[in-house]
Amino acid sequence: MKIRLNRYLSECGIASRRKSEEFINEGRVQVNGKVVIDLAFFVDPESDIISLDGEKIKQQKKVYFLLNKPKGYITTTSDDKGRKTVMDLIDTNQKIFPVGRLDYDTTGVLLLTNDGDFTNFLTHPGNKIPREYKVVLSKPLEDEDKQRLLKGINLDRRKSRFESVYYLNKNVREKVTVTTTEGRNHFVKNMFSSLGYFVDKLERTSFGSFNVKGIPIGAYKKLSYIEIKRIYDEYSK
């Protein structure tokens, strides 16, 4: 069965489908020895020879990891400055990549995989998959600002809001839990910053149905296909 070239690259664990399109546009992908720059090009994985930068691509078994990310690691596959990345924490021979990003100092739930379709499913805005965060603020969150975060504020020229905001302890209003379906970089920090709050500590406690309960900081577990199917079933439209 023929599939789009960018989908084939993502399914082989080369990169996300969007990143694979960049490789195609850059003329780095060859099919049967010829460079292809057509994003709508279809290939037959059974008969076509697909290469990236002259190296033949082989289909990989899909793997999924759930990491309890610690501080001090950047969420990339490599770093030209020699800093520690989340890849240093996963023991696998497969070429995997993170699903979305967590900041250098942000901890908690981070998924890594070689399945581009799964990555797109989790991060596509239309699927509205919730992310929950525990936040420690530089000062107590005022009730008025809490309501503004729920109703929506203008951020990056777009109306933006949290799905929920609640205090972990009504007597300690510097500590709150928020839920959002947004995947924009630094979204939680920027939401609070726009109202004059600095985020001292940020932990992602869940992404959809995935959480790191029972997983020590810096450790990970390999997810089963049943667990992956479950989140597709729960959030597919």
- The residues carrying an active-site annotation are 103
Nearest alpha-carbon partner for 3 in 45, 31, 39, 36: 45
Question: Phi first, then psi: what are they for 79, rounded to 5°?
Answer: -145, 125
By CB atoms closer than 10 A (0-12, 13-18, 19+), residue 62 is middle
Paired strand residues for 135: 176, 202
- b or e along 101-111 (b: 16 or more beta carbons within 10 Å of the residue's beta carbon)? bbbeebbbbbb
Rounded-to-integer distance, Cα 89 and Cα 190, Å? 28
Rounded-to-integer distance, Cα 164 and Cα 18, Å? 30
Both tokens assigned to 67: 């990491």
Q: Can you list the pairs that 25-29 forms with residues at least 24 positions away whose Cβ atoms lie under 8 Å?
A: 28/52, 28/53, 29/5
